[in-house]
Each structure stands twice: as structure tokens, then as C-alpha cells.
Amino acid sequence: MLFFHYLCALFCLRMRMHMHLLQHTGEYFLLMQRVFRRPDRGRMFWRQYAREIEKQGLQSLPIVIIISIFIGAILTIQAKLNTENPLLPTYTTGLLTRDTLLLEFSSTILCLILAGKVGSNIASEIGSMRITEQIDAMEIMGINSANYLILPKILAFMSMMPLLVIISIAVGLVGGYGVGAFTDIITVADYLVGIQYAFIPYYVVYAIIKSVVFAFIITSLSSYYGYYAYGGALEVGKASTNAVVNSNIMILFADLLLTKLLL
């Protein structure tokens, strides 16, 4: 009898989770339907778009540069130490560093990092506007608050993400070059041969496509959790946490699909 009650409780819990997921999915798509409408005032949209370019893109540049240069150096050192085999060519280290930056770090891992910065910022900003009733005031005035607040953020980050990816790749390769220039782990000549050997330009396109998709996931999910953060200040913190966690999960899931489709 106890086992039967346990099964019933487990079944009810699973059904509740499924209904909760369906509710969030429906609300998300309805919100995106409101977001992707023609702005009521084009001048205000472009003004907000420029602000979001500066806030999400340019202000993320320092952390992108710092992380990329260290990751490039670390990848070079680890690749060299793990490929010390006389049967392997000397350019293997540079090749591994280049392809790792192109295929995964400068698109996927970088977006996972930026989800913590950009995503939490968006969720906190919109969530604070929700609990202080600023969004309600916009709705009363007849303004499409979803379009006004969210669309510039999505388009701005999707516009800036390819640039951040290109900068990350370049700076990461410079970090690896620094290992060859300032240490005796690898010679500069071997490193330069490696990063040029069998280069496939499509890998750059692949990284940019992934980054644009991930940028949309980060901004749209973060905006969703912030937009529906009803309650008090505690709910804003929960919305920020949910935005980062769920953005990371969806980025990894999308990375799996895109890798299967594009490579």
C-alpha cells in the first residue's frame, strides 16, 4: 500500500513538472511573438539598440580578451605537454590550439561565460522594472513593453557576438604565441606552422553561426525570466539565477544539435 502511494506521488510530481514546462514554453513563445513586431517608434528603437550595443557588446570586450588570452596560452601548454611523442609532427600543438579555439571555446564556452554576465544583467534589469511596476505603466500607456525592452537587447547581442568571437579567436592565438615567445615549451616557428596547417575557413563560419544562435538563447531566455519576475526583490534574484542556469543548459543542447547539423 505504501509503495502504491509512493508511485502515485511520483506520478503526480512528474505530471506537475511536465505541466510547468509546458506553461513556461507557451509563455516564452507568446512573449517572443510580442517581441518580434515592428517597433512603434523607430527612432527610440535605434537609440535603445545603440545603448545595448555598448552595454552588452563593448562592456563585455575586456572579459573576452582576458579570458581568451589565458585560455590560448593554457591550451598551447597542455597540448604540447600531452603530445610529446616523436611520432607526432611538431606543428600538432598549434593545430590543436587553433581548432579548439575555433570549434568550441570562442563560440560555446565563451557564450557560457557571457551568459553569467549578460544574461544575469538582462534578467535583473527587466525583473526590477517588473516589480517596480514600470512595465505595467508602459502597458497602461499603450506601449508594447516586450518589444520596447527586449527586441533591442536581442538584436544588439546577436550583432555583437560575431565580433566578440573573432576577437576571442585572434586573442587566443596571440596567447599561444606568447607561450612560444616567452617560454621554451614550444618554438614560435613550430607554433606558427601549426596554426596555419590545413586551415579550414568554414570553421570560422561555423563558430559565428553558433555564437549568433547562442546569443539569441541568452538574451531571449534572460528577458523571459526577468519579464515574468513577479513578487519582490527575492524574485529578481531567482529570475537571474534561472536565466543563467537555463541559458547554459539550452546552449549545450543547441551546441549538440548545431554540431550534428553543421559539421
Cell 563560419 sits at which residue? 205
Residue 8 lies in a domain: no
Instruction: Assess if residue 34 is contained within a domain.
Output: no
Residue 4 in any domain: the answer is no
Position 1 scores a pLDDT of 56
**Half-sphere exposure of residue 35, counting CA atoms within 13 Å on the CB side?**
20
Spatial separation of the C-alpha atoms in residues 194 and 95, rounded to whole Å: 4
Indicate the pTM of the whole model: 0.91
User: Is residue 32 one of the residues assigned to a domain?
Assistant: no
In the chain (263 residues long), the average pLDDT of successive 10-residue segments reads 52 59 84 89 90 92 94 93 82 92 92 93 93 90 91 95 95 94 90 92 94 96 92 86 94 94 88
Give the pLDDT score at 81: 87
Q: In the prediction, which pLDDT does 91 show? A: 87
The owner of cell 520596447 is 148
Quick check: is 142 in a domain?
yes
Indicate whether 190 belongs to any domain.
yes
Residue 153 domain boundaries: 42-258
H or E segment to which residue 86 belongs: none
pLDDT of residue 42: 82
Decide if 60 is inside a domain.
yes
In 3D space, the residue among 20, 35, 10 whose CA is nearest the CA of residue 158 turns out to be: 35
Residue 30 lies in a domain: no
Q: What is the pLDDT of residue 19?
A: 66
pLDDT at residue 43, as a whole number: 87
Contacts of 9 (CB under 8 A, 6+ apart): none
Domain count, the chain: 1
Contact (Cβ atoms closer than 8 angstroms) between residue 103 and residue 206: yes
The reported pLDDT for the residue numbered 169 is: 95
